[in-house]
Amino acid sequence: MRPAPDSAVRHWPSVVLFMGVCVVVLTSDLVSKYMSFERVSDRPIELARSEEDGTTLVYERVESGELVLQPRYDPTAPASAIPPHEGRLVVPKGLRLKLMLNTGAVFGIGKNKQWFFALVSVVAVLIIGSIFYRSKRSSKWLHLCLGLILAGAIGNLYDRVRYNAVRDMFELFPDVDLPFGWSWPGGSTGLYPWIFNIADVALVVGVGMMLVIIWRHEAALKRAEKEQQQTSSGKPRSTAQTSPD
């Protein structure tokens, strides 16, 4: 199917916006993951994927440069193999860098289902490309959202394919607990107990903006339909304006 004359793929500014956002966010995600696992812990941490069973292997690089395989205290939780570390405080009670491996999706949902989330990510990439192909050149906010979602999907897909786990490092509100002695399901008392990465942020922001765009589009369609019904029924359109005072 050939794109329409006003299609975004025929409009270079739209392509640059879409791909530019994707490249910048994706690069930021991968670089931040690499730098964090190099510098946040006392010694650099390197990951690999076992050729035997595909599980995540965690290595610690010692002073001699040799990679020492860390024991997997719990085979179902690769993060347990990361050596204990304090992390690096960036903003007191605001942001700390701490290494974590996530075998689920955003917020750790669906632990140990890497094959499923990898498949979902591939499907998401195809859908995003199709939506951009069919979109109009005037839909700049849509292209921004699509670029964010695509970057987030590719960033975490890369980790799942290469390491069988996603590298996370951002911890919000460290050492800040929920009020009144409350706790999250699972027992955590932290105000925000999830550790995440830039790809997660891109996905959440992109999907959130997409929902707002869809809501505004549907609201505009309902207004236009209502005005059309009023016009066809012979009712005059209201021109009254509210006084500014």
Q: Which of 159, 168, 175, 177 is catalytic?
A: 168
**CA nearest neighbour of 51 among 147, 208, 162, 145:** 162
Distance CA 147, CA 155 (A): 12
Q: Which of 6, 29, 200, 245 is catalytic?
A: 200
CA–CA distances in Å: residue 107 to residues 21, 102, 117, 138, 159: 24, 9, 13, 34, 16
What are the contacts of 183-186 at 24+ separation with CB within 8 A?
A: none
First to last CA, the chain: 55
User: Does 53 qualify as catalytic in the annotation?
Assistant: no
**What DSSP state is assigned to residue 83?**
P
User: Does 200 qualify as catalytic in the annotation?
Assistant: yes
**CA nearest neighbour of 163 among 108, 107, 119, 103:** 103
Q: 144 is written with which tokens?
A: 């921004």
**What DSSP state is assigned to residue 51?**
T
Q: In the chain, how long is the greatest CA-to-CA distance?
A: 86
Grouping H, G, I as helix, E, B as strand and the rest as coil, residue 56 is strand
Distance CA 99, CA 36 (A): 7
CA–CA distances in Å: residue 153 to residues 21, 105, 171: 13, 11, 20
Distance CA 141, CA 80 (A): 41
**Catalytic residue numbers, as ranges:** 168, 200
